[in-house]
Structure 1
Amino acid sequence: MRHPMPARALKTLLTCALLGFTAFSQAQQVLRLTAIPDESPTELARKAAPLVKYLESRLAMKVEYTPVTDYAASVEALVNKKVDMAWFGGFTFVQAHVRSGGKVIPLVQREEDEKFKSVFISGDPTVQALADLKGKDVSFGSQSSTSGHLMPRHFLLQSRIDPDKDFRRVAYSGAHDATIAAVASGKVQAGALNISVWTKFVADGKVDTGKVRVIYTTPAYYDYNWTVHADMPVALRDKITQAMLALSRDTAEGKEVLEVQRATRFVPTRAENYKGIEAAARSAGLL
């Protein structure tokens, strides 16, 4: 015969359950962000600060930005749910999508990322076109960079130039700004990087365009996005998406966030947009 649970025991059980729920709820009150380290740590922190502040006000929860040491670490952090949301390049999104068995979801991308481009730059007067890179020292960014390696390599191969066979040396600077520095200092004769960083360096007067210039601009492709883990509650996912889509340069807050993110505005995106990146990665033997 089953005896009814004593009132005291029932009360204790309910209290424990309530405390457990409260602890769980509190744990959900922190949204953890990270980003691929495609620029210097100080620049990444500068770009993250206004967004963190904005999301905290829109989501009514604490938001924390956590830097990672390399591209692979950003992928592992989201796949293993050490962070809730990550700023990925197209290739790192594909890596995370494959690594997680499809358990990551891209939410938004900048309008610019629908037609993103890379540039090849050089400070060597003898380098005027891609064909002139043969026999030269050329730097990419990170090996996992979409705009600093994968897509530049993809377009080189399409031009029948194999970096591993045709270049004297292939270098990896680790970040776009480091690639500019390597070319400007003469450590390499040319480098490939994302057009957004190059444009910012030129606008800020951080590169002498009389000495370093663009020799080739790639065709357009899909690139960066903000991605979350598929286990994130749908309500929170939708709230984040709406907050990002609501950013506008017509408000002081929106303008600050969008300017440091180098974005006109954010637009919705989906995994299918990155099929071309995945195909390029597989074709180049990088995936």
Structure 2
Amino acid sequence: MTRHKLCTHLLVISFCLLAFAANATTFTFTAIPDEDESRLVARFGAVADYLSEELGVEVNYIPVKSYAAAVTAFRNGQVQLAWFGGLSGVQARLQVPGSVALAQGYEDQFFKTYLIANTRTGLTRSKKFPAAIKGKTFTFGSKGSTSGRLMPEYYIREFFEQPPQRVFSRVGFSGDHSMTIAQVQAGAFDVGAVNYLVWESELAAGKVDLQKVRVIWETPDYPDYQWTLRGDADKQFGAGFANKVKRALVEMNDPELLASFPRKSFVPADNSDYTAIEETARAIQLIR
């Protein structure tokens, strides 16, 4: 090999090693797509900037198209951290042993689902489960959503002692909470299940027409969203890195950033906080 070719060969190897090293030190995260995509990109782009400054490493946010894709990216090691719902977080941690729930929103300690109905149905708000939804058309959110599928399906099954497909004349899955509101408001479905914070956010933004859609019932409280970190984070980024991530999340105090979730603050979380979610998912066979 000539000296020129040898130098060229070594240069290519050096660039490859540098690229590998850069990748190895990039901390990557994703989030379940529970709202309009443009909103998520703005929110988590800002989170990436915040974490990069706090952790002292490059941080990238990777958007995904579905709840299942978020779990898959976490399982395959394409991301080290994810903003999951209660169910997707449980699913991810079961697939990646050693992974831990680090932090949850203050509100996620006592989350709830709203059942909403198009006003043409005549359904009105009640503290009792609305038996009159039987026979109507109904949409959940994503198939992997805690607030948009798991918890409302649990209460539907408990009340009617039948699966949703036998309770309603037609069952759909909108894909996200914003779309659920839009579909019920437009009359594409009579009734739907929606994350209460997304409802309140859309209402405040003027996207909900209360002449066309209203809340008719809300579930009891349950734990929901959380930040989950892969169990190999310290091995990849150095001893104590997981604690640094947890501290950065819990100490996030930028009002604008918190409002984008929207959350009052983030508080420490633990895997055991989501035992009831796992048990509920197993009860209706969403986890086996």
Does the alignment reach a TM-score above 0.5?
A: yes
Alignment pair present for 1:116 and 2:121: no
Of 212, 225, 247 in structure 1, the residue corresponding to residue 252 of structure 2 is 247
Separation (CA, whole Å) in 2 of partners of 1:222 and 1:90: 7
Separation (CA, whole Å) in 2 of partners of 1:20 and 1:236: 26
The TM-score with structure 1 as length reference comes to: 0.87
Alignment pair present for 1:88 and 2:84: yes
The TM-score with structure 2 as length reference comes to: 0.87
The equivalent residue for 1:5 is none
- Deviation of 1:238 after TM superposition, in Å, equals 0.9
The equivalent residue for 2:10 is none
Q: Structure 2 unaligned runs (5+)?
A: 1-14
The equivalent residue for 2:8 is none
Q: Give the counterpart letter for 1:122 in structure 2.
A: A
The equivalent residue for 2:178 is 177
Instruction: Note closer, same or farther for the CA distance 1:201–1:161 as it changes in structure 2 (3 Å cut).
Output: farther
Q: Give percent identity, aligned residues only.
A: 38
Q: How does 1:187-206 map to 2 (within 5 A)?
A: 187-206=188-207
Q: Can you list the C-alpha shifts for 1:70-103, whole angstroms capped at 9, x where unaligned?
A: 1111111111111111110000011112222x33
The equivalent residue for 2:7 is none
Q: Give the counterpart letter for 2:79 in structure 1.
A: V
Q: Give the counterpart letter for 1:109 in structure 2.
A: Q
Alignment pair present for 1:146 and 2:146: yes
Moved over 3 A (4+): 19-28
Separation (CA, whole Å) in 1 of partners of 2:230 and 2:191: 37
Q: Give the counterpart letter for 2:249 in structure 1.
A: M
- Deviation of 1:49 after TM superposition, in Å, equals 2.0
Q: Structure 1 unaligned runs (5+)?
A: 1-18, 249-253
* Contact map agreement 2:121 2:190 (CA 8 A) in 1: no
- Deviation of 1:20 after TM superposition, in Å, equals 11
Of 46, 60, 63 in structure 2, the residue corresponding to residue 64 of structure 1 is 60
Of 46, 49, 54 in structure 2, the residue corresponding to residue 53 of structure 1 is 49
> RMSD over aligned Cα, in angstroms?
1.9
* Contact map agreement 1:79 1:104 (CA 8 A) in 2: no
* Contact map agreement 2:160 2:167 (CA 8 A) in 1: no
More deviation, 69-78/191-200: 69-78
- Deviation of 1:22 after TM superposition, in Å, equals 7.7
- Deviation of 1:125 after TM superposition, in Å, equals 3.4
The equivalent residue for 2:40 is 44
* Contact map agreement 2:32 2:83 (CA 8 A) in 1: yes
What secondary structure sits across from 2:192 in the alignment? strand
* Contact map agreement 1:126 1:132 (CA 8 A) in 2: no
